[in-house]
Amino acid sequence: MSALIELSGVRKTYRSGTVEFEALRGVDTVIAEGEYAAVIGPSGSGKSTLMNILGCLDVPTEGRYVLAGEDTSSLDEAALAAIRNRRIGFVFQQFHLLASMPAWRNVELPLVYAGVSRAERRERAVEALTRVGLADRVDNRPGQLSGGQQQRVAVARALVTEPDLLLADEPTGNLDSGSTRDVLALFDELHDAGRTIVLITHEPDVAARAGRNLVIDDGLITTDRVRAGAR
Binding residues (CB under 8 A) for other proteins: these are 52, 55, 57-58, 77-78, 81-82, 84-86, 90, 92, 96, 98, 100-101, 109-110, 112-115, 157
Nearer to other proteins, 141 or 225 (CB): 141
To other proteins, the closest distance from the beta carbon of 55 in angstroms equals 7
Between CA 221 and CA 217 the distance in angstroms is: 6
Nearer to other proteins, 98 or 185 (CB): 98
Nearer to other proteins, 116 or 134 (CB): 116
To other proteins, the closest distance from the beta carbon of 81 in angstroms equals 4
To other proteins, the closest distance from the beta carbon of 114 in angstroms equals 7
* Cβ proximity of 182 and 155 under 8 Å: no
To other proteins, the closest distance from the beta carbon of 101 in angstroms equals 8
List all residues 6 or more positions away from 213 whose beta carbon is below 8 Å from its beta carbon.
37, 38, 40, 207, 223, 224, 225, 227
Nearer to other proteins, 82 or 220 (CB): 82
Q: What are the φ/ψ torsions at residue 52 (nearest 5 degrees)?
A: -65, -40
Between CA 169 and CA 55 the distance in angstroms is: 10
Residues of 77-100 as b/e, b for ≥16 C-beta within 10 angstroms? eeebeebbbebbbbbbbebebeee
Residue 170 carries which side chain, given as an amino acid letter?
E
Nearer to other proteins, 3 or 81 (CB): 81
Expressed in percent and rounded to 5, the helix, strand and coil fractions of the chain are 35, 30, 35
To other proteins, the closest distance from the beta carbon of 211 in angstroms equals 26
Nearer to other proteins, 132 or 212 (CB): 132
To other proteins, the closest distance from the beta carbon of 185 in angstroms equals 25
Q: Packing angle between helix 103-114 and helix 77-87, nearest 10 degrees?
A: 130
**Beta-strand pair 3-16/62-67:** antiparallel
